[in-house]
Structure 1
Amino acid sequence: MLKGSIKWRLEFKPEKIQWDDVAQEAERGRLYKADYMDKQGRIVFVIRPGIQSASSSCAQIKYLIYCLENAIWNISSNQEEQMVWLIDFQGWSTACLSLKIVRDTAQILQAHYPERLGLAIFYNPPKVFESFWTMVKPFLEPKTYKKVIFVYPDNPRSRRMVMEEHLDMDKLESYFGGKNTVGFNYEAYAQKMKEDDKSMSDVFDSCCSSSPGFLSSEFHESV
């Protein structure tokens, strides 16, 4: 797995993806990194598959990779390295189905970002999703799908035991039953991503100029 991941990074260069490359896919708030952590200090991603994307599957995957790289960049040395995925199924229907994107996402996460997923909360999935989930599970390793929890807002016990246990309800978006009615702010999010891009680029350029080929040599030494 390590050799394959190193080869993928050297060829795909995920660290080179910039905000301007993926900004269009981010506009509607279909996927974004929340501005709060869960109660264990883990980065939280909000995913809203019910919002249709006009982008190609490749563009959607590219944006996902950009978000993962950005999240990893922002993890401090004493912070929990795993992430929480909050998936809101409002508006989701079979028209949103894309087994290819699900398969590609699972492959990338499990092969190149192993153990990054700490918890996935499926919030209010419709009944029809159960059949889709049956098709998706074979693409996932058991240790991955065991981290998935289904939450139904019409079940107070389910909501209380999961959402309130893991998240600050004052900061959580209203579409997850929280008190935050502001939700996703594209302009503020774009500004933050551009600032992170600049910081990452400065560090990367500094390392490359002081130690040419440092990435390649380090990767090969670790194999």
Structure 2
Amino acid sequence: MSSASSVNKGDGKEAALFEEQLRKIGAVRVALGQLSGKKALYCSDASIARYLIARNWDVKKATKMLKKTLEWRSECKPDEIRWDEIADEAATGKIYRTDYFDKSGRSILVMRPACQNTKKAKGQVRYLVYCVENAILNLPHGQDQMVWLIDFAGFSLSNISIKVTKWTADVLQGHYPERLGVAILYNAPKIFESFWKMARTALEEKTFNKVKFVYPDRPDTNKIMEDLFNMEELECAFGGKNQATFNINEYAAKMREDDSKMPLFWSPDNSLLASEPYVMNKDMPQEGSSSLKTEETAYEKREETESESENREEAESESEREETDAVSGKREENQSESEKRKEAETSPKAVESTSLPGEGITPAEKSGSSLSDP
């Protein structure tokens, strides 16, 4: 076979694959039904494709996942969070978006667990959602992912919690699929290992594979940084040459400016958002392939667990009802026997005989048994 025909055959397969992916995107759109407003803006082809990719191109599961996100966005309104609402969370610079991008043009969020300054999980997750929405707002055209740079300087286990970590994983994996490009855990200390063993159970396998541990004293991991970032722009805390430090006043001004852009981004007039095209994913698994098996998120697993729990409670309730009915039957039977004894005691023959204290009382009446209680 000539090289030209091989190329043509490859192009044919690629075209067929692309058509299949577009068909699945269309199938999800049909399943969603008529959408309007922000929901319609959110469900661009590229956005639907991210949910399909997250669910290995299973239309039914991707649709279910996307519907949950639309419900969540309607309820929580993440695009309407504004700087002044979460400024207290941001004061120490525990999470912020950098002014530079990685070599692929992805937005970068720096996270510093040691700078944790609040206790309420809801506030912490809300601030993270604000940061993610802001990072998406600032993505250059043609890019849809971000990078997390997590600095462990000064870290202690008191800085983080399993509850917040699981909640964060649920929100990010359930409502921002395929938005994370890579997460760099920079110079994580030994004490972090025990927490990581617990935290990783909340991560899907594909999310887990995006996590990279980098240590400044290991050249092999430092290469990860050199491959991803322009070292002149990268902050010195991560081995770069940028001496800039976080300034809350400057950052607040930048965020307020972005806040003014957010309503325009979600305006019905933003045709770019609504028509965000899907760029073919060449790694799409084939129909019937074992790789189509979905990696369920912790959110879905919990949902199934709750469903199982409800079924269990239902079964237990049914069992309790049967036991109650059986007990009621015994009560009625006992009451019937007790009534017969009382009739016998009040009969002329019984009245003629004298009784000592305690005599003529049934064992149940003597002990105060609850069997005859209503």
Q: Same fold (TM over 0.5)?
A: yes
Shift of the 125–17 alpha-carbon distance from structure 1 to 2, 3 Å rule, reads same
Distance apart, 1:201 and its partner CA? 2.7
**Which structure 2 segments of 5+ residues have no match?**
1-64, 275-374
Give the aligned partner of residue 172 of structure 2. 109
Is the 1:57–1:101 Cα contact (8 Å) retained in structure 2? Answer: yes
8 Å Cα contact 2:103-2:228 kept in structure 1: yes
Partner letter of residue 108 of structure 2?
Answer: V
**Greater share of helix residues, 1 or 2?**
2
Whether the 8 Å contact between 2:233 and 2:242 is mirrored in structure 1 is yes
Counterpart of 2:150 in 1: which secondary structure?
Answer: strand
Q: Distance in 1 between matches of 2:265 and 2:217?
A: 48
Amino acid across the alignment from 2:103: K
Residue pairs, 1:17-28, within 5 angstroms: 17-28=81-92
Give the Cα separation in 1 of the matches to 2:264 and 2:179: 25
- Alpha-carbon shift at residue 142 of structure 1 (Å): 0.1
Larger Rg: 2
Matches within 5 A, 1:67-86: 67-78=131-142, 80-86=143-149
Distance apart, 1:98 and its partner CA: 0.3
Aligned to 2:186: 123
Deviations 1:96-140 (A, max 9, x none): 230011001000000000000000110000011111111011100
Match of 1:2 in 2: 66
Contact 2:125–2:164 (CA under 8 A) maintained in structure 1 = yes
State how 1:56-71 maps to structure 2 within 5 Å.
Answer: 56-71=120-135
Residue 161 (structure 2) aligned to one of 93, 98, 105: 98
Is the contact made by 1:25 and 1:55 (CA closer than 8 Å) also made in structure 2?
Answer: no
User: What runs of 5+ residues in structure 1 fail to find an aligned partner?
Assistant: 209-214, 216-223
> 2:94, 2:112 within 8 Å by CA — same for their partners in 1?
yes
Q: Determine helix, strand or coil for the equivalent of 2:168.
A: helix
Q: Is the 8 A contact 1:174 1:183 kept in 2?
A: no
Aligned to 2:261: 199
Counterpart of 1:48 (choices 104, 112, 134) is 112
Q: Per-residue CA shift, 1:129-177, capped at 9, x if unaligned? A: 1111110111000000000110111112321x11111111111111111
Which residue, out of 182, 198, 206, partners 1:143?
Answer: 206
Q: CA-atom RMSD, angstroms?
A: 1.7
Identical positions, percent = 50
* Aligned partner (choices 84, 93, 98) of residue 29 of structure 1: 93
Equivalent residues of 1:19, 1:197 under 8 A apart:
yes
Give the counterpart of 2:228 among 152, 166, 181: 166
Letter in 1 for 2:146: M
In structure 1, C-alpha distance between the alignment counterparts of 2:128 and 2:243, rounded to whole Å:
25
Q: Give, in angstroms, the shift of residue 81 of structure 1.
A: 0.8
Residues 2-26 of structure 1, C-alpha deviations (whole Å, 9 max, x = no match)? 1111100011111110110011111
Between the aligned partners of 2:255 and 2:186, the Cα distance in structure 1 is 26
Could you tell me which residue of structure 2 aligns to residue 211 of structure 1?
A: none
Aligned to 2:249: 187
Q: Which amino acid aligns with 2:240?
A: G
Cα distance change, pair 97–199 in 1 and its aligned pair in 2 (3 A): closer
SS at match of 1:32: strand
Alignment partners' CA distance in 1, 2:82 and 2:97: 16
TM-score by length of 1: 0.87
Identify the residue that residue 196 of structure 2 maps to in structure 1: 133
**Shift of residue 87, structure 1, vs aligned partner:** 0.5
Structure 1 residue 47: Cα displacement: 0.4
Using the TM superposition, name which of 93-102 and 28-37 deviates more. Answer: 93-102
Give the whole-Å Cα distance in 2 for the aligned partners of 1:20 and 1:97.
24
Aligned structure 1 segments of 4 or more residues deviating by more than 3 angstroms: none
